[in-house]
Structure 1
Amino acid sequence: MDEKQKMQILADLVKIRSVNDHELQVANYLKRLLDAAGIENEILPLGGDRANLVATLGHGQPILGMTGHMDVVDVEAENWKSDPFVLTEDGDNLYGRGVADMKDGLAAMVITLITLKEQRVPLNGTVRFFATAGEEVGEIGSKALAKAGYMDGVEALLVGEPTGYRIINANKGTMNLTVKATGKAAHSSMPKLGRNAAKDLINVLHLMQAQFDDQMASVENTAMGGTLYNVDVLRGGNQVNAIPGSASAEINMRTIPELSNDQIVAQFTQTIDQYNREAGANVELIRDTNIISTQGNDAAKLVKLIQKIGDPYAAGQNLSDADKQREAQLLQLLDMPYDPDHILTMSASGGTDAAQLLKDQPVGFDYAVFGPGNDTQHQDNEYTSKQMYLNFIEIYQKLITAYLA
């Protein structure tokens, strides 16, 4: 496959408006490519215009899993310099919604499978490729795959999310909580006739913050650091002379294996139940999102092969001193190490489909988040590097060949 064909596949994927939906259209496109190459694959419908796709190359053990998601986030087209659903080239930069997160990685993986098949590269094992739906909201695709047993027998997992020449193999979990207080509305001149839900909510949030600071904040993971706790949304009341009958808060947490999501919920629930008993209140805790943390193994086979194969590509980047300084400063803000010439392992607060696919073995599994792209995902004028995209196709080919040698 020549460069023009590789670019066309990426352009075709960007053109499909899979904004939090319509992954079936992407899956149908990928299926046509894989069918033409003679690669075994199937589309797994999820209802509506949504679906996963699974493809298999090779036979037997070991099984190397590869995964990339087909959905992208929404876009405010008026803030873009170009049509976000038309791949636009400007020097080495390729612009388009989802081009970095993660249709470049998705395309690179599919092109890799096709190239290996066309070149009849011998594989002593199997590549099992997942193209998933709904990673951006709810991880519905990877949940369905894990539940159906598609991770059975997989010994290592490569996630093609945008990292550039870095490996993420430790991801904090994500948990969204809603604290809901129910009281009784009344006129502000007669507060004894009502129950102020906002007051109960504030009291409980104060207790939860104190509990987090005293019991949870000091618990740390060597790679990921501590748990993050943020009250991000507050609602309550509708006018100044009325006692609010309901109030709520939404909390986002980024969690670590040492303090699991279930442990946190159990501790907060105990605090809220005690407040309800003592104050005669009606406050409840609702868990809206529950994504566990994952932590890999720096010394594992997949990670070491990525570093061995990928280091020359990292060192071969034509980065100016200003580029290096900018990236170093950005990674310092994110508490990540930086080395322009070597691929390092590190952790990240954001989650991936690995949280669902590794649900039964979240610590110590051989997995790596490693894909083309940069830190412009979800932003206006999202872009990726053309050279990096092409490099990763080569890296993935060498990686699979070495892993299944």
Structure 2
Amino acid sequence: MVDEQQKMQILADLVAIKSVNGHELKVAEYLEKLLTRYGIQAEILPLGNDRANLVATLGEGKPVLGIGGHMDVVDVEPAGWKTDPFVMTQAGDNLYGRGVNDMKDGLAAIVIAMIEIKQSGVPLPGTLKFLASAGEEVGQVGAQALTKAGYVDDLDALLICEPTGYRIISANKGTLNLTVKSHGKAAHSSMPKLGNNAATHLLNILQRMQATFDDVAGAVVNPEMGGTLYNVDVLQAGNQVNAIPGLATAQINLRTIPELPNDQLIAAFQKTVDDYNATTNGDIELIAANDVISTQGNRDSDLIKLIQQIGNPYAANQDLSAEERAYEQQLMKLLDMPYAADEILAMSASGTMDASSYLIDHPVGFNYAAFGPGNDTQHQDNEYTSKRQYLEFIAIYKKLFVQYLQVAAKKQVVED
């Protein structure tokens, strides 16, 4: 078996690789070398420049459990860090470093669990398929490439090992970014009739778009995820107070649900823009981007039941202080998520992950869950994870990977 010192070294090695989005190749090379050393089939799939995906398999045939993790991390501002962000540093139970929480602890836990399963010689009645992607933090380019190439076509279940801690995320809202451009004509503020105020038109169309959203989405609610979220986050217009602006822009972020798909929202907003342009002297342009679908797994799936069965004893033994429990309870309340200190609950989240690309053809009802070591410090300065939890997740994954295939294989025999 892989001893604790090796487990810590593997995680430290991954943190040391500066795989800021766009530079994932060295992580893929490290994982490929590590896995093949232990006799596990692994393949690097280049994406050009300094990018690559990696796919590794253990076992053969059906059923197939897909295990997803991403190799990229977000960029750093070193001035905000108390330690070198690319040197894993331990303080008590906390391990600090960029990506140590999101999600190199998850990557390491997956790989070590697969290695120890291989070493144990336990027969697998199916296949473990590890999908290590590039570019999850921006655009999901790696997951999209894996999906396009057919690597998810044979999956019977999908486990995404993002940092959830002792929680299961079984549903994720989609995301949609809209850029609204108001094209006008610049002029001196003392002679406004010589221009066409882009800012005024932008404010007008934003009011109409808000009304459209309220009308289309206000009463549509998903029982697990709630309603669609709509936020105007960026406004830009003009550069001095005595000049009529010729261009004004707004950026809007939506978090979407299966009952109101992104394309329906885009169509509704485009009609509002078209009507405005046809009835005023405004010239509004609507641009949609970062169009990511929502996903909603089956909460009654064997995968989720097994995670709870195997993981609950670990969750109950966390030994959290009263202060830590109070903080987590308050945080979950702010996020409108349920909280339990000693059991693993399944819930939804507004954030997106690679599952949106992997489940593009099965967005609702698939045997899917996100469950991985970590906490809510991802993307922050001084990001950290728990050493204890990291080691516990290795043990959980070893049991989960094998037991899921055993349960799924028995079901397939009965169905056949």
Above 0.5 in TM-score? Answer: yes
Residue identity matched to 1:261: N
Task: Give the deviation of 1:22 after TM superposition.
Answer: 1.2
Task: Give the deviation of 1:184 after TM superposition.
Answer: 1.5
Task: Give the deviation of 1:397 after TM superposition.
Answer: 0.5
Task: Give the deviation of 1:21 after TM superposition.
Answer: 2.1
1:302 partner SS: helix
**Equivalence for 2:401:** 400
- Say whether 1:68 aligns with 2:82: no
Task: Give the deviation of 1:323 after TM superposition.
Answer: 1.4
**Equivalence for 1:175:** 176
Residue identity matched to 1:165: Y
Structure 2: distance between partners of 1:217 and 1:382: 37
Task: Give the deviation of 1:190 after TM superposition.
Answer: 2.0
1:347 partner SS: strand
Relative to the length of structure 1, the TM-score reads: 0.99
Residue identity matched to 2:157: A
**Equivalence for 2:338:** 337
2:164 partner SS: coil
Task: Give the deviation of 1:191 after TM superposition.
Answer: 1.8
For residues 248-397 of structure 1, what are the structure 2 equivalents within 5 Å?
248-397=249-398
Structure 2: distance between partners of 1:366 and 1:225: 21
For residues 88-107 of structure 1, what are the structure 2 equivalents within 5 Å?
88-107=89-108
**Equivalence for 2:412:** none
**Equivalence for 1:206:** 207
**Equivalence for 1:44:** 45
1:138 partner SS: coil
Task: Give the deviation of 1:214 after TM superposition.
Answer: 2.8
Structure 1: distance between partners of 2:326 and 2:203: 44
Residue identity matched to 2:48: G
Deviations 1:10-61 (A, max 9, x none): 0000000111121001000001101101111111111110110001111000
Task: Give the deviation of 1:217 after TM superposition.
Answer: 2.3
Residue identity matched to 1:84: P
Runs of 4+ in 1 over 3 A off after TM superposition: none
For residues 215-234 of structure 1, what are the structure 2 equivalents within 5 Å?
215-234=216-235
- Say whether 1:148 aligns with 2:149: yes
Residue identity matched to 1:401: V
Kindly tell me the number of residue pairs found equivalent between the two proteins. Answer: 405
Task: Give the deviation of 1:82 after TM superposition.
Answer: 1.0
Relative to the length of structure 2, the TM-score reads: 0.96
1:404 partner SS: helix
2:271 partner SS: helix
Overall identity of the aligned pairs, in %: 66
Task: Give the deviation of 1:195 after TM superposition.
Answer: 1.4
Task: Give the deviation of 1:239 after TM superposition.
Answer: 1.7
Residue identity matched to 2:24: E
2:365 partner SS: strand
Task: Give the deviation of 1:199 after TM superposition.
Answer: 1.2
**Worse overlay, 74-83 or 393-402:** 74-83
Structure 2: distance between partners of 1:6 and 1:226: 42
**Equivalence for 2:13:** 12
Structure 1: distance between partners of 2:380 and 2:253: 21
Residue identity matched to 2:324: D
**Equivalence for 2:410:** none
**Equivalence for 1:128:** 129
Structure 1: distance between partners of 2:51 and 2:179: 28
Residue identity matched to 1:25: K
Structure 1: distance between partners of 2:165 and 2:383: 14
Task: Give the deviation of 1:65 after TM superposition.
Answer: 0.1
Task: Give the deviation of 1:119 after TM superposition.
Answer: 1.6
1:290 partner SS: strand
Query: Where in structure 2 are there 5+ consecutive unaligned residues?
Result: 407-416
Residue identity matched to 2:75: D
Structure 2: distance between partners of 1:115 and 1:277: 65
Task: Give the deviation of 1:213 after TM superposition.
Answer: 2.0
RMSD of equivalent CA atoms: 0.9
Structure 1: distance between partners of 2:192 and 2:330: 53
